[in-house]
């Protein structure tokens, strides 16, 4: 039985039906979902009702599952305002300010030397109002740029600084975290290693541009984020408990929208797969698709 795929967004974001992702899947079904992911960037599975174990198992069909940032053993992270047991987190803690940065436009793990490829997020508990997630199609945003502007951007490297990024929500990294995640450069526009298509690779974690002064770099980043997050490139999803969404960090930005954190639970669980890298060599972007084809 074949999966059904229906595009919901203008340029990306599709719903996948006719598959139970809580159960084992054959290779043909996994490849069909992979192809849908390449085609649409973001996939929605309604009524999945996974638990942490089945989410990890489903994620493993699509690559090596990464560890939770704060764990040496767990692969699924609780990213809302409640912990794994459903208890409300103190909104004034360092952990809360760290997670609140997820309300800025970003690509997951952009501060890694090899950033995450796919992210898997499921809704365990949702507030009555607010708490939606938005995605922006940075591939469509790149395609919409005039060729001369693309030529200006294609060799630029963005400086990804987690400390400066998290400072926007009042968080200060520990000395240990600073050493673990120092500033790192990635291309402003990456060539996708599976599709060969280029997409803008900017967001809140990009805090400077190599070769530009701070003011010019910030202005360019703001310009590209504003361009990428125009209405025609954005899809907003209001969650229903039990849903799971997969998105491609090489093609999309995303952000969670605010809700009443003091009184309503928003419990979302995320897993991710390892990407391929590096993204650059000698201070210049790598054609990641050509590298993958040559492997």
> pLDDT of 197-237, one tens digit each?
999 999 999 999 999 999 999 999 999 999 999 999 999 99
> pLDDT of 27-72, one tens digit each?
999 999 999 999 999 999 999 999 999 999 999 999 999 998 776 7
State which CATH number among 3.40.1360.10, 3.40.50.1220, 3.60.130.10, 3.40.50.800 fits the domain covering 4-275+288-294.
Answer: 3.60.130.10
Q: Is residue 121 a contact partner of residue 131, using CB atoms and an 8 Å limit?
A: no
Place of tokens 């701070």: 214
Rounded CA gap, 90 and 202, in Å? 31
Q: How many CB atoms lie within 10 A of CB 45?
A: 23
Average pLDDT score over residue span 134-152? 98
Alpha helices in 144-239 (DSSP H): 147-153, 162-167, 175-180, 214-228
Average pLDDT score over residue span 19-29? 95
Residue 288: pLDDT over 70: yes
Least confident stretch, 158-172, 173-187, 220-234: 158-172
Alpha helices in 8-135 (DSSP H): 27-40, 52-59, 94-100
The pairing of beta strand 42-45 with beta strand 244-248: antiparallel
pLDDT tier, 98 (very low <50, low <70, confident <90, very high otherwise): confident
Q: Give pLDDT, residue 1.
A: 63
pTM of the model: 0.95
Mean of the per-residue pLDDT values of the chain: 93
């Amino acid at each position: 039985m074949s999966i059904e795929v229906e595009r919901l967004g203008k340029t990306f974001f599709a719903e996948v039906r006719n598959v139970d992702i809580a159960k084992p899947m054959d290779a043909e079904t996994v490849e069909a979902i992979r192809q849908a992911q390449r085609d649409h960037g973001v996939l929605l599975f309604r009524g999945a009702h996974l638990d942490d174990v089945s989410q990890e198992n489903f994620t493993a069909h699509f690559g090596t599952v990464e560890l939770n940032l704060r764990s040496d053993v767990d692969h699924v992270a609780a990213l809302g305002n409640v912990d794994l047991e459903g208890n409300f987190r103190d909104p004034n803690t360092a952990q809360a300010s760290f997670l609140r940065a997820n309300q800025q436009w970003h690509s997951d793990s952009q501060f890694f030397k090899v950033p995450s490829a796919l992210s898997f997020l499921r809704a365990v508990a949702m507030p009555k109002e607010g708490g939606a997630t938005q995605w922006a199609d940075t591939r469509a945003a790149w395609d919409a740029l005039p060729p001369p502007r693309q030529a200006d951007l294609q060799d630029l490297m963005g400086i990804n600084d987690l400390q400066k990024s998290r400072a926007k929500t009042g968080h200060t990294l520990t000395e240990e975290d600073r050493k673990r995640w120092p500033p790192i450069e990635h291309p402003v526009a990456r060539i996708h290693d599976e599709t060969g298509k280029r997409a803008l690779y900017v967001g809140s974690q990009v805090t400077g541009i190599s070769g530009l002064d701070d003011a010019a770099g910030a202005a360019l980043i703001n310009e590209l984020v504003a361009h990428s997050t125009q209405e025609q490139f954005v899809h907003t999803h209001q969650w229903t408990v039990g849903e799971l969404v997969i998105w491609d960090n090489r093609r999309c930005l995303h952000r969670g929208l605010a809700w009443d954190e003091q009184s309503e639970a928003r419990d979302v669980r995320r897993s991710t797969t390892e990407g391929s890298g590096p993204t650059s060599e000698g201070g210049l972007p790598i054609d990641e698709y050509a590298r993958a084809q040559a492997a």
